[in-house]
Structure 1
Amino acid sequence: MPTNPATVPRSTAHLRWPVEPAQGGWYTEAEHEAVRQVLAESDDWRTGWKSATTTDVFEDAFAAYTGAAHAVAFNSGGTALEMVMRYLQLTPGDEVVSCAINFVGPHLAVIGQGGNLILAEPDPLTLNLDPVDTERVLTARTRAILITHWNGAAVDLRPFLALAERHPHPVHGPPPVIVDAARCCGGRTPTGRVVGSEGWATIFSFESKKLMTTFGQGGMVTTSDQSLADRLRTLRTYGGLDRWGTNQMMTKAQAAVGLVQLARLDEMNAARIDRAHHRTRRLARVAELTLPPTRHGRKHLYYRHNLLVPASWTGDGRDKLMNLLAERHGVGSIVSDPVTYLGHRLIRHHTTGQRCPRAEQLAARLLCPCLHPRMTPEDETAICDAIQQATAHIARTYGTGE
């Protein structure tokens, strides 16, 4: 089995555009003013930095935006997901199903909370979890289905909710559908609802590269389950009076900035979608590349603008394209994401014997050239021209793949 696949070009010394943006959203004077107000009020020793009121306001606003009954803020999306998994009180043998093409965070959260990670194949078009392959791996031991809105393409949750009803756990009932929306904040599902209002629990990240950011870290869980919301609030604050917990609170400054970012989220997402659709139109003439699906109505937020090279270029040809883009054109790109068990030793150890051939093949064809909504039209023209030229160069060696 191949291991440790490269995720960035071998040389980044001469990049004009980085392998990925360091910040996904961006700040305006409104965010700076929010910080100044927090600084002014918190400098008083009688007030300090206790964040409860500001965080409450942010949570209420986020719940209203998504349409969920509850929103619970955390210091990061990773800890938020881990605490959702902790609520399940997984025991040895309990299984959680997730897509093999993924960021490592969701899979580590399952393993870290004692679950048996079960991997399923991606859909070949969106690279989101495939409901047909998910049903193949469901068993009487399945405790949860963990779905990622991968790279901003919103998943239709209805087939997974139906699967859960058809395959109940003998003790706990239908396995809850947990959603990782770290890359899809502000999106809409195919039902037209805002991401965060469907499924048992939805986890958001406000890390620096995400669609809205709160000083580099931060997270949120939305749910309509009162019991889950109550338990998450005690888990993040030392467990209340009689249960285990720890300190995972969001700071006052993060919450204040989050309120401004939330108010601007649709504007920032619209700019990203516009930039991505423009790139898709520019690259439509490049026959060798499979472009991300174009979806309207905020159903795809294009956290990455992912490209697939022909199957005949798998691995080596894709790597040569990434390296050529970097070294000759200064265009950075990243494989976002490789199959987790190929690149992470702990996940590989915990999934011994599991293989997802479709995921491996698709991930070996994947690259995501740098995209950000604040790129200038000149930047975007240069990047698209570079992708076209570099692809044509590689095609002379590997063919068109047709």
Structure 2
Amino acid sequence: MPTNPATVPRTAANLRWPVEPAQGGWYTEDEHEAVRRVLAESDDWRTGWRPASYTGTFEDAFAAYTAAAHAVTFNSGGTALEMVLHHLRLTPGDEVISCAINFVGPHLAVIGQGGSLILAEPDPLTLNLDPVDTERVLTTRTRAILITHWNGAAADLRPFLTLAERHPHPVHGPPRIIVDAARCCGGRTPSGQVVGAEGWATVFSFESKKLMTTFGQGGMVTTDDQALADRLRTLRTYGGRDRWGVNQMMTKAQAAVGLVQLTRLDGMNAARIDRAHRRTQRLTHVAELALPPTWHDRQHLYYRHNLLVPASWAGDGRDQLMNVLAERYGVGSIVSDPVTYLGHRLIRRHTNDQRCPRAEHLASRLLCPCLHPRMVPGDEAAICDAIQQATEHIARTHGTTE
């Protein structure tokens, strides 16, 4: 098994800018006022903290925003995805396809719900799941295709929807298209639809680092499937009266804040996109670095600003660049994300001998220096200068030959 790729520079104690922002968006007086209002009304013992009135309003607003028929709140995106998979009633041998470059959460959810995780390669440009390689691993045992809008780059779901129709499961019909939109809330897919309107189920996270957050945790599922929406509502509330379930409800205060964050989401995303495009423009002349694709109309939200070093720098050269950024310039960076089976033992054991060489190669070239839309211009200029100078330093050691 290859060594676990570094995700944090060796020297992190003196970072001027962290490896990643602790909060993806930001709060205003409107969020604070929403919390004060909830606190005041919930202090009455007759009212308390029952969340239904607020979560229902948040769900309706989110469904309208995404143009989905239903939206269901959860206490986290991770539990939301678990319950979507639980609804499929996966049995031994049922397969779920997902991209090898990913956060570990989706892959652990598949394993935890009894599915066989099948890994496929990323697209070389977007690092989203590659539909061509997906078809290579698709079988009559495939129950679902789990597509991540990776680091804010919205995937085109249309090829996967076509694949599902062409390769139905012999018992359950076309594999379900499940979308992980944790890093793409408010984006638009290449078909022009708001993320959350396509596919069988789309899962959102409102964890602290995400594009909008509800007190650091929270999640949502959008779907047009009435049966799925109804089942999710019972799963999060102890299963109703006759089925299994647990308590996975969002709180009243989270929903109140979520309502405000949702009204500000497009503005926060626009600021992030503008900052990312400016960074790309400043780094265009750094020949050694492959920059993220520049798309418009909210197709790329730049949850991370991904950089790829030359192939000849893969692994050691990339790690040296991260450490030079940290040690000399105080710039934190992260590998977001390594190939999951290289960094997580359970996923490695579960996937046995599955290997995705393209994913391994791309991940070994990947780094994401800290980016946040509220960085002041001076900080952003210093970070871009540091990236350029650190890259020049590594180029003198490793060269630039691909």
Shared fold, TM over 0.5: yes
1 CA distance for matches of 2:349 and 2:105? 16
- Name 1:43's counterpart in structure 2: 43
The 5-angstrom pairing of residues 253-332 of structure 1 reads 253-332=253-332
Q: Residue 124 of structure 1 aligns to a residue in which SS?
A: coil
Give the AA of the match of 2:84. Answer: V
- For structure 2, list consecutive stretches of 5 or more residues without a partner in the other structure: none
Q: How many Å separate the matches in 1 of 2:346 and 2:182?
A: 22
Q: Deviations over 1:70-112 (max 9, x none)?
A: 0000000000000000000000000000000000000000000
Q: What is the match of residue 225 of structure 2?
A: 225
Matched residue, 1:187: 187
Q: Count residues in correspondence.
A: 402
> Once the two structures are aligned, what percentage of the paired residues are identical?
86
Runs in 1 of length 4+ with deviation above 3 angstroms? Answer: none
Aligned twin of 2:163: 163
* Paired residue type of 1:181: A
Query: Equivalents in 2 of 1:284, 1:6: separation in Å?
Result: 26
Q: Which residue of 2 aligns with 1:360?
A: 360
What is the alpha-carbon distance in structure 2 between the residues aligned to residue 185 and residue 229 of structure 1?
19
Partner of 2:247: 247
Counterpart of 1:240 in structure 2: which amino acid? G
Q: Tell me which residue corresponds to 2:215.
A: 215
Give me the whole-angstrom Cα distance separating, in 2, the residues matched to 1:210 and 1:26: 10
RMSD: 0.4
Tell me by how many angstroms 1:144 deviates: 0.2
Task: Give 1:11 deviation, angstroms.
Answer: 1.1
Cα distance in 2 for partners of 1:214, 1:393 equals 41
> Residues of 2 paired with 1:182 and 1:306: CA distance?
17
2:152 matched residue in structure 1: 152
Partner amino acid, structure 1, of 2:299 = K
Give the whole-Å Cα distance in 2 for the aligned partners of 1:369 and 1:42.
Answer: 42
SS at match of 1:57: helix
Query: What letter is aligned with 1:170?
Result: P
What displacement does 1:3 show? 3.2
Q: Distance in 2 between matches of 1:364 and 1:353?
A: 19
SS at match of 2:299: coil
- Quote the Cα distance in structure 2 between the aligned partners of 1:13 and 1:216: 24
Structure 1 residue 69 displacement after superposition: 0.1
- Local SS of the residue matching 2:266: helix
List aligned pairs for 1:1-400, cutoff 5 A.
Answer: 1-400=1-400
TM-score with structure 2 length normalisation? 1.00
Please give the alpha-carbon distance, in whole angstroms, between the structure 2 residues aligned to 1:140 and 1:192. Answer: 31
The amino acid of 2:47's aligned partner reads T
Consecutive unaligned residues in structure 1, runs of 5 or more: none
Q: Could you tell me how far apart the structure 2 residues matched to 1:218 and 1:3 are?
A: 33
Q: CA deviation at 1:401?
A: 2.4
User: Residues 302-345 of structure 1, C-alpha deviation per residue, up to 9 Å, x if partnerless?
Assistant: 00000000000000000000000000000000000000000000
Paired with 1:96 and 1:149, the residues of 2 have a C-alpha distance of 17
